[in-house]
Amino acid sequence: MINFNYETDFSLNNKDQISSWILNTIYEETYKLEEINYVFCDDEYLHKLNVEFLNHDTLTDIISFDYSIGKLIQGDIFISIERVEDNAKDFSVSFEEELHRVIIHGILHYCGYKDKTDADAKVMREKENYYIKQLA
């Protein structure tokens, strides 16, 4: 089950399409879905989580809490709509493209992809690009 929750003035227009896309990504990565909760929020909301749970006093676009067991995916993904808007401008892409990148980024983490090293970040970006094309 994929749930979309809103803690800010935002809502997805195409929830069914996004849900199918996420599910197809999980299956293509040979994982199974238990439950994912997306929470769309603002910078203040996400900053508070970042400080409280991760001891990071910075703004971020996404925080994911992974409760997966083996190949069964379960977790909570928090996304700051304000950060997505700013990042879209900074990277000269549409809001929708940046939002889709962040949405799938959290899923790829659950599927075992990392992004702390340059090499890992390159693989993560390639996977994001691949799956974004699947949505189009």
Parallel/antiparallel/unpaired status of strands 72-80 and 2-6? unpaired
C-alpha Rg value of the chain to the nearest Å: 14
**100 is annotated as contributing to ligand binding:** no
115 is in an annotated binding site: yes
Helix, strand, coil: what percent of the chain each, to 5?
A: 50, 20, 25
Q: Binding residue per annotation — 109?
A: yes
Strand order in the sheet with 62-66: 2-6, 32-41, 72-80, 62-66
Binding residues, by number, are: 105, 109, 115
Q: Which residues are annotated as a binding site for Zn(2+)?
A: 105, 109, 115
